[in-house]
Each structure stands twice: as C-alpha cells, then as structure tokens.
Amino acid sequence: MKDSALYVHIPFCDHKCIYCDFYSIITSDNINSFFSSLKKEIEFYSPCFKDNYFTSLFFGGGTPSLMLPENLFEIIVHLKKYFNISDHAEITLETNPGTVNKDRLKYFLDAGINRISVGIQSFDEFDLKFLTRIHDRQTAINTVVDASNAGYRNISLDLIFNLPGQTREKWLLNLSEAVRLPVNHISAYSLILERGTILNKLVLDGKVKMQDDDYDADLYETAIDYLTSNGFHQYEVSNFSRDGYECLHNKAYWEHRDYLGLGPSAHSFMKGRRWWNYSSLKRYIGEINAEGNAEAGFEIPSPGELLEEYIMLSLRSAGLNLQELEKRFGSGWYKDNYTILNDLKQSGFISDSGNLLKLTSRGYALCDEIIPKFK
C-alpha cells in the first residue's frame, strides 16, 4: 500500500486578511450543506483509492477552528469508515488565535485532532494590524499556551517575514518569542504578493511599498541561523522542527507522494493524475449533489514534468536521493546535470553526502534561482 495524505478544505472564515489568496468566504451560510456534501465526496472517492494507506489528515482553510468540534469528529469518523487511515495518523487543524480557548482546544483533541497549527504570523502589534489579523500579541501567546495545557504535544506556528518596514531586530524578536513557547515546529514564510489580494492592489496603487529581494534574503538567512541555533532543524525551505516533529502531511507533498484533496478549491494528485475542485462553495455543493464529485479540471503530467516536479520538491526539502531518483526516472538526469551540480557544490550551494544532494543554507536562500538551471 502507498503512504498517502488527505486534505480537507474548510472555506469558512470570519475575516479576509489582506495577503490571503486561499479560497474562503465570510459567511456561516451553507455550513450544514457543506458537511453533507463533504461526506458524499468522501463516499465517491472511497472505491477509487481503497489501496492507499493514509498516514496524515490536514484540515485547512479558511479557518477550520471556527467549526464545531462535533462537525470535525463526524468527518474524521466518516473518513475512517471509507478510507484506510492509520490508527496513528497525524491529524492537523489550522487554528487562528482569537477563535479558540483551552476548552475548545480540548474538545478538538477529544474529536481526534492531535496536531495544531497556529496562524500567528507576527507577535508585533503594528504588523498584526497591517496584516489585518483579528488577534493581538497576547492572544497569540495565550493560544499556544492553551493548546499545550489542553494536552497537545505537537504544536506548530506560522510566522511571516519581510513585511513593509520590518527591521531585522523586529524579526528576531518574533523568532525569539516563538522559540520560548511550547512549540516544536515553526513555519517561516516570506510575504508574497498574490494576484487578486487586497495587498496586491495596495502595492499597485502605491499605498504600500514592499522591501527588495536582497533584504528578504537577509531576513530569511536570519531565520535559518536563529532557529537552527535554537534546536530547530531546517527540513524544508520554509519549515523548521525539533527532532521527530516534521509535518508528515507536508512531507507527503515534498516527497511526491499521492494526496487526496476534499472540499471546494482542493487539489489532488493520485495515481499520476492531478485534478482540482471548483472554488465556489455553491458550485461545489451543486456538483457533489449532481455528480458525486466537484472536479473543475484535471491534467496528467508527462514523465518529463513528473521528473521536474520530483527534483524541485526534493531539493526544496530533505534533499535529492540519487538511488530513489534512478529507481523512479533512470540515471539520465544526474549525468546531464553533473557539471551544473559540481559547480553548485564548489560554490557552497549544494552538499553531497554520497547518495544525497542537499541544498545548504545559502542554497535554500537561492533555491528559486538554482532549480531552473537544471536541464
């Protein structure tokens, strides 16, 4: 059986942040219809993937922590009824500060959630207001502490760097606050302009000025240096964890394994086929009721495209295992790129430990420039 991942997109939100481009809706309408449709979608795909063994389940959004624990419990039970899910599966809930307290977090734990990912983004009050987050610094801290006191041992938090006007000193304060909390996983993302977001329009209108790429790289290297010197090892471009707490769900993506996405806007990659659902909740519900699925489009990547994806994902994360590469795709890629790889090693961007090619800290900072160099 193949180890695979499950993703469930919960689109409901109480507020749309200026930088967010994920599908979300600011309404509580159709919640019951959504969960009913989600169960039907689970039943539809069950016969197709009975040979897959799911080792992780991730509730993303939107703001899944706005949902009632009993709703998520019902979905977890339904998924376990129709799919082969490990008894020890990692089950993550994305959580926003200000939407939960200790009691609610305990209810989620009792419902089967065993990993919490807290969308803090910043501990700085000015930055939180700029990002239009609904919480303040103390609420962010309280949420992590409450999760620990509720019984969670697997807690992650998200931070964003390279915000307009963010100094290196301010970024270091964010990092130092994060490592003091009872967390064992930290995701550090650069602020990216996404088309269609409020932030993108503010930049286009000249109301907000982004910092340049060199400054972004400096803050990123600051994060790597600080976190790795404080007990968090970097196992992917944007992710750091204490030993044994890497996110199993995200590793499925980076290791190019199968993943099934359920809910509006969710993407899937199963058995060499990639597809995506309609983003409109009403369209999603309508399609599920009519067809059993809400597929909006699909593609079947060519062998060359699959190879490119595998190289990119491997180098972004734990590294490129040459034995696994040859087993999947043959030895041609390594031979064709030997000179490029040797130059990158000589320049200190890639380390070579026998069968594993891995980006160094310097290489991680330039991965988007390095990867296109390959043939």
Question: Is the predicted pLDDT of residue 225 greater than 90, yes or no?
Answer: yes
pLDDT 10s digits, 130-186: 988 999 999 999 999 999 999 999 999 999 999 998 999 999 999 999 999 999 999
Is 101 in the same domain as 226?
A: yes
Q: Which of 215, 230, 254 is the last residue of a domain?
A: 254
Judge whether 268 lies within some domain.
no
Structural domain contains residue 168: yes
Q: Is the pLDDT assigned to residue 1 strictly greater than 70? A: no
Tell me if 290 is assigned to some domain: no
Question: Which domain, by its residues, includes 79?
Answer: 2-254
Whether 271 is covered by a domain: the verdict is: no
- Mean predicted lDDT score pLDDT of the chain: 93
More confident residue, 276 or 196: 276
| 7: helix, strand or coil | strand
pLDDT tens-digit profile of 98-122? 999 999 999 999 999 999 999 999 9
Is the residue at 12 inside a domain?
yes
**Number of separate domains in the chain:** 2
Kindly state whether residues 81 and 220 are assigned to the same domain.
yes
CATH of the domain at 162: 3.20.20.70
Give the three-state DSSP class for 297: strand
